[in-house]
Structure 1
Amino acid sequence: MSGADPGTRAQRQHLLRVRGRSVAWVPPLLLLVAIAVIDSNTSGEFRIISWIVLVPGIAAAICGVRGTATFAVLSLVTYIEVDAAWPHQDQTGLPDFILVAVGGALATTACAVRVREERRMLHMRDVADTTRRTVLRPLPTPWAGLDHAAVYLAADSEARVGGDFYDIQPGPHGTRVLLGDVQGKGLPAVDTAAALLGTFRESAYHEASLAVVAERLEVRMRRQRQYVTDLGGEPARGVERFATAVLVAFPPCGSPGGHIEVVNFGHEPPLAAGPAGVRLLPPGDGLPLGLGDLAGPGPGPGAGAESESESEPESGSESGARVPPVRRVPLDPDETLLLVTDGVTEARDAGGAFFPLHEHVARAVLADPALTQPRRLVELVREGTLRHSTDRLGDDTTIFAVRPVRPART
């Protein structure tokens, strides 16, 4: 994309403002005065008044169109006055006059193009921010009895949103949490993430069973893929889009606590971090969303696993969707649930080694148990990931921490 880079433009505006007022006019004005003064104090054999063509050029880079046009006219007038003050034999004459005049006109035109592209870029950023707020909507803190914090890092510095998604949905059957990662990048991944979040927000509120919520997500993923296929999109070219995800249910307020329910669609298993240490929740032995039909007939993946914390798996009945089992997992009141996308676990250092998330968090929490607070835990993982990858992320990265709000002590 042409035009100024958002970060560069923001930094420039910050540097060229003093007490909230623009001082972008100062550098070209100082240059104009300096050229005029130096030229007036040199010999006729070394004239630099033609350098004044640089003034509107610099103004075009940092000023608005009116400011640049003003400096173009001011440069031309200054050139005429300074050059006329010299004896006839020492004047630079018509060629340099044409140079300054044409240079000012070109600088003004270039400034108009730059300003137009900056406005276009800012409009696109507004559209991207609106899309981000739609997909990754702002969440109150705390909300529905949960304290939480999240960080989203785009692998592309120009991007504002990608295929990673997360949300919290309170309802009469408890509070449900979803974090996932759509395979692929770009707008198709964003479209799929938005479709899954829409389904989650409705089904998580209305459905009493977490297995049914999981089934609705699996069916929605298949419908989305079929929709794109019918449009002649990516699946028609042999790309089977899917999404890994973790679905978590916290019991309603007033219900016996000490446990959560988890459905893992082939995603990185969450970590439970508390003062007593960091432990890994059951692995994601289920298939990703959109690939449940690969499990074949019968109970969903992992249905036969033996675990004291696993409930009976509820496979889809009406739709035939196969979903992973619902696992009942203990969670202490002082533990924080940490969920990440593969941008964290697959971050590599210069030697190609993956980021050791579990070890990194366990070591930090052992040294300072207060790091289990969601906001501090998210910052810990964010800084560790960026440091490990030397700020070169290979994939979109989401870090999400959540835990029940502790009751106030009386």
Structure 2
Amino acid sequence: MTKVPGRLPRAGHPDAVERHQLLRVRGRSVAWVPPLVLLVGITVADFNTTGEFRIISWIVLVPAIAAAICGVWATAVFAVLALVTYVGADNAWPHEYQTGLPDFILVAVGSILACLACAVRVRGERRMLHMRDIAETTRRTVLRPLPSDWGGLEHAAVYLAADSEARVGGDFYDIQPGPYGTRVLIGDVQGKGLGAVEAAAALLGTFREAGYHEPLLGTVAERLEVRMVRHREHTDALGRRDGDRFATAALLGFRDDDPDTLDVVLFGHEPPLFVGSGGVRFLLPDGGLPLGLGDLAADGLPPVRRVPLLPGETLLLTTDGVTESRDGEGVFYPLADDVARAVAADPDLARPHRLVAFVRDGTVRHCGNRLVDDTTVFAVRRRPAPAPVRGRLQS
């Protein structure tokens, strides 16, 4: 997948690993510098104060600071250094100015507690890293990485989970090339949490198989509807309270035999925007119901609509994290108008990776970096056919 430039915003605060990266210079840790500077500073200050005002006992702060930013062994080293420095500095003064045994006990106890606190912190960080690896594996399983030019499509995507710790939510997207063309799916499972992730994984698994094997896009749509109903029946049988779960989705089909058209099935999802150098085209909704609610529709599943596709035109697909993003006054993000103005000023913005970056930045800016729902921005377009190579005629 095309990597979208720029730093991706995330809800919440940076984790411990990101904080510790700030204490590295050219790949090497400098976490030992602050406690060392504090150790030297307290010692020098103690020697430059009067005997009535001794601050050497403040050296207990050295192992405490080390416990917050260093490893266990480094904290233990600073604890020993603090004790040795305290004894040396205190004994260098005349007897009447020495702080003596009480402050030595204070420094010793503080050093031991600092080492214990550091061990607890490091253990928690290791557990956090393990959980982050699990979350990353889950994300890569549900939203698998897509090769560049996959299925003859140039594509780019940004996914921002509202739950910054889980890093994955109910939004899903994928591209599946096959013998009957390349199919694209994007959707949003109703609700949040692991139940939404599970439903998204079920739909993606069905799409990857049906999108490859089924000749007709309408059959792929039927398979997705059946899978959502089966998944809901399974969770009902387990006694879980997500029996009313459904998913909005947009299913696209790029035909190999007709590159100038596009097949579209909308399951209650926002229609894609057709973005090209000439501006932005709209596709009206067809009133189709979300996946899992097909039995409520009198006409059955949404129809497969075949629409024209202009050369170089990019399809912009988003989830409701974009369309329902609001500013401080409750105004929705004007996606279509914003994109239309930007493309009119810079037609090259229609390229997928630039378009996705623009919509991402616009959404985050509009909502003041307060994402309340999973947000997906996905853009695809046909890869232009290579120009024929003209060779010389040889006799």
Q: Which residue of 1 aligns with 2:312?
A: 334
Deviations 1:218-271 (A, max 9, x none): 000011111111111113xxx50000000000002xx13211100000001110
SS of residue in 2 equivalent to 1:256 = coil
Q: Which residue of 2 aligns with 1:267?
A: 269
Measure, in 2, the Cα distance between the counterparts of 1:282 and 1:201: 27
Specify the code of the residue in structure 2 equivalent to 1:276. Answer: G
Contact 2:163 2:169 in 1 (8 A): no
Larger deviation, residues 397-406 vs 88-97: 88-97
Q: 5 Å matches for 1:163-182? A: 163-182=170-189
Q: Is 1:9 matched up with 2:16?
A: yes
**Is the contact made by 2:319 and 2:377 (CA closer than 8 Å) also made in structure 1?**
yes
User: What is the match of residue 297 of structure 2?
Assistant: 295
Task: Indicate whether 1:25 and 2:32 are aligned.
Answer: yes
Structure 1, unmatched stretches of 5+, are: 301-322
Tell me, yes or no, if the aligned pair for 1:267 and 1:284 is still in contact at 8 Å.
no
Residue 241 (1) aligns with residue 230 (2): no
Aligned partner of residue 352 in structure 1, secondary structure: coil
2:151 match: secondary structure: coil
Task: Give the match's secondary structure for 2:60.
Answer: helix
In the TM superposition, 1:382-393 aligns within 5 A as 382-393=360-371
C-alpha contact 1:357 1:381 (8 A) present in aligned 2:
yes
Paired residue type of 2:152: G
Partner of 2:279: 277
Shift of 1:11: 3.8
Structure 1 Cα separation of the partners of residues 150 and 164 of structure 2? 30
> What is the aligned counterpart of 1:355 among 297, 312, 333?
333
The SS at the match of 2:14 is helix
Give the TM-score of the pair, scaled to structure 2. Answer: 0.93
Q: Structure 2 stretches of 5 or more lacking a match?
A: 1-11, 389-395
| Counterpart Cα distance in 1 of 2:216 and 2:264 | 12
- When residues 284 and 43 of structure 1 are mapped into structure 2, their CA distance, relative to the original with a 3 A threshold, is farther
The aligned runs of 1:95-174 (5 Å cut-off) are 95-174=102-181
- The one of 321, 324, 328 equivalent to 1:343 is 321
How many Å separate the matches in 1 of 2:92 and 2:167?
56
- Find the aligned partners of 2:22 and 2:192 in 1 and give their Cα distance: 35
Larger CA deviation: 323-332 vs 173-182: 323-332
Partner of 1:37: 44
Question: CA offset at residue 8 of structure 1?
Answer: 4.4
Shift of 1:18: 2.0
Name the SS for the 1:176 alignment partner. Answer: strand
Aligned length: 377
TM, length-normalised to structure 1 = 0.90
- Counterpart secondary structure, 1:7: coil
The equivalent residue for 2:393 is none
| Counterpart-to-counterpart distance in 1, 2:258 and 2:158 | 31
> In 1, distance between residues paired with 2:381 and 2:141?
24
> Are the counterparts in 2 of residues 65 and 115 from structure 1 also a CA contact under 8 Å?
yes
In structure 2, what is the equivalent of residue 61 of structure 1?
Answer: 68
Contact 1:271 1:338 in 2 (8 A): yes
Whole-Å separation in 1 of the counterparts to 2:101 and 2:116? 23
Q: Deviations over 1:271-291 (max 9, x none)?
A: 000111101113141100011
CA drift at 1:6: 7.6
What is the match of residue 226 of structure 2? 219
Between the aligned partners of 2:345 and 2:312, the Cα distance in structure 1 is 16
Cα distance 1:60–1:6, how it changes in 2: closer, same or farther (>3 A)? farther
Amino acid across the alignment from 2:161: A
Match of 1:378 among 329, 353, 356: 356
User: Separation in 2 of the partners of 1:184 and 1:12?
Assistant: 32
Residues 268 and 284 of structure 1 are in contact (CA less than 8 Å); yes or no, is this contact kept in structure 2?
no
2:294 and 2:101 mapped to 1: Cα distance?
A: 79
How many angstroms apart in 2 are the aligned matches of 1:59 and 1:399? Answer: 43
Question: 2:189–2:248: 8 Å Cα contact kept in structure 1?
Answer: yes
Distance in 2, Cα, partners of 1:363 & 1:22:
47
| Residue 19 (structure 1) shift | 2.2
Partners of 1:187 and 1:256 lie apart in 2 by: 40
Taking the aligned partners of 2:53 and 2:216, their CA distance within structure 1 comes to 87
Over the matched positions of the two proteins, sequence identity in percent amounts to: 69
What is the CA–CA distance in structure 2 between the aligned matches of 1:129 and 1:284, rounded to whole Å? 36
- Cα drift, residue 23 of structure 1: 1.4
Q: Measure the CA separation in 1 of the matches of 2:220 and 2:19.
A: 48
1:251 and 2:258 matched? no
1:154 offset after TM fit, Å?
1.5
Q: Secondary structure at the match of 1:240?
A: coil
Q: Deviations over 1:307-350 (max 9, x none)?
A: xxxxxxxxxxxxxxxx1111011111221001000000000011
Offset from partner CA, 1:12-66 (integer Å, 9 cap, x none): 3332222222111111111111111111121111000000000000000110000
Q: Matched residues in 1 for 2:258 and 2:82: separation?
A: 79
How far apart are 1:398 and its partner, in Å?
0.2
SS at match of 1:81: helix
Q: 2:217 & 2:58 partners in 1: Cα distance?
A: 73
Q: Tell me the amino acid that sits aligned with residue 272 of structure 2.
A: P
Alpha-carbon separation, structure 2, partners of 1:292 and 1:12: 48
